[in-house]
Every structure is written in structure tokens, then in C-alpha cells.
Amino acid sequence: MRPPHAALLLLFILAYFRGAYSSVSQSRFTSIISFGDSFADTGNLVMWADPVLPGPQPLKNLPYGETFFGRPTGRATDGRLVLDFIAEALGLPFVRPYLDKGGNFSAGVNFAVVGAPALTLTYLQGQNLTVNPPINSSLHDQLLWFQKLKPSLCKGRTRY
């Protein structure tokens, strides 16, 4: 029986970060930029004014965030995400959601949105594919957000 792909990916990531991070010296990583869906969303969905999902968002209430944070966090879990453990291992703060307009993104930014597909909702519906719930944010939208924020992230840097 083959091990699941996700387990292999997680083992690879952990092995990579173990070699990249040393408590004796400073980490060579200074920030995290994240894209994705509910596995990485640190609060974008609850801050996003999506007309497709009107009404109260359950992620704004307990038990979401209860186990680790003691308050609702906008994450689709009551604890931490893999992204939170990666940030902790690198000695970086938890990654702020992009839609947190008052957020400091110097240590990274998260563009992930719960339920976001890789392809646009318009394309999927054009292929007669049903998306439930119909989240109108995709990887394409996250990459557009990144392009808008990139000049402020790279200010004063000579390399990208």
C-alpha cells in the first residue's frame, strides 16, 4: 500500500525545515508568503465581504480557535494550522491574513481563502461544474492580491 501524498509532502517539508532552521544561528527565512484554501487560511474568509456568502460566518465564533488561541481566529479549525507550526519552527510570527488591512506584513502574508479552488468560479461554472459553497475567490485572485502587495513587500530589497 502506498503512503498518502499529503503525508509524504509533510515529511519532506519537515525534513527541509529541520535542515534550514537552527536554534544556534538565525534562520535564513525572514517571511512566509502563503496561498491556498482552508488548510492555510488564517482569517481571510471572515474578513472578506463576499456577496455569495451573506450572513454570519461560523468561523467568527467558538469553537473555532478555542483550543490554542482561546478566541475565534477565522481559521477553519479550533487549533493551529500547519502554516502556524512552520512559522513557529522558523521563529517567525503567525502569518497575518491579507485582508487584515491593519496587519504588518513584514514577516509574511497569507492570501489563502477557505474553499478557494485553483480555477476561477466562472471557469468552473462554464464547465457545468458545481462548486459548493460557491466561493468567488481562486488561486488567480490570490496571485492578483500578491501582485498588488508585492511592491510594499519588496521595498528596499535588491532581489526578489
CB 136, CB 119: distance < 8 Å? no
145 part of a folded domain:
yes
CB 78, CB 63: distance < 8 Å? yes
159 part of a folded domain:
no
How many domains does the chain contain in total? 1
* Residue 71 structural domain: 30-153
Phi-psi region of 43 (alpha: psi -120 to 50; beta: other; left: phi over 0): left
Distance CA 111, CA 33 (A): 8
Could you tell me which residues are beta bridge partners of residue 34?
110
pLDDT, position 17: 60
Say which residue the cell 459553497 belongs to. Answer: 133
φ/ψ of 128, rounded to 5, equals 60, 35
160 part of a folded domain:
no
C-alpha cell at 123: 471557469
pLDDT in tens, the chain (160 residues): 455 556 656 655 666 665 555 454 566 888 999 999 989 999 888 887 665 555 556 778 788 888 888 888 888 888 899 999 999 999 999 999 999 887 789 889 999 998 888 888 888 888 988 877 667 788 999 999 999 998 888 766 555 4
